Structure 1
Amino acid sequence: MLAKPFEKPVRVWVGLGFPRQLNTVVDAYQFVSEWCGNSPEQKAAIRACRAALTGDVDAETARGVLIAFARKKDILVEDEAIPLVKVASHASHV
């Protein structure tokens, strides 16, 4: 099974607000397959990932279906949802 990469990763919220980055069709397939539920959107995402893994559709088609699933479940991390944190270096004062 080839790990067909997405042009741009998809980030989803998992657990208690922790983001998870899905970089490939395999990542997406594992995530959606392990998702607790049985919704039409989940089934569509699983089918799309399987089709991408067998070469019937491209990775970006599967990515689009994955994004639709994540939006429907309100777990899609929008780009502005996670602020960049600048780590300040602290100089020691002697």
Structure 2
Amino acid sequence: MLAKPFEKPIRVWVGMGFPRQLNTVVDAYQFVIDWCGNSPEQKAAIRACRAALAGDVDAETARGVFVAFARKKDILIEDGAIPPILGSAQPKHV
């Protein structure tokens, strides 16, 4: 299996709010198969990653499907997102 890097890494929340960066299709595949659950989004991400690793689709197609899975599970770190712990420590403006 080739690593098949993404043009832009995917960042997700894991555990108790710790960020993790996924740089390749293999990273995303390992993450999604270890994910507890059996949702349609998870199954689609697994299929897309397998297809990319087999050379049937490109890495960016698999990335898009994985991002949809991560967004649905509310673990995707969007650009500019503030970590939950740091976000709660910020002063509130009234």
Q: Does residue 76 of structure 2 align to residue 76 of structure 1?
A: yes
Partner of 1:24: 24
Q: 1:82 offset after TM fit, Å?
A: 3.8
The runs of at least 4 aligned residues of structure 1 exceeding 3 Å deviation read none
User: C-alpha displacement at 1:79, in angstroms?
Assistant: 1.1
Scaled by the length of structure 1, the TM-score of the pair is: 0.86
Length, aligned pairs only: 83
Match of 1:5 in 2: 5
- Structure 2 unaligned segments of length 5 or more: list them: 84-94
Gaps of 5+ in 1: 84-94
Q: Which has the larger radius of gyration?
A: 1
TM-score, normalisation: structure 2: 0.86
Q: Secondary structure at the match of 2:61?
A: helix
Whole-Å separation in 2 of the counterparts to 1:44 and 1:60:
14
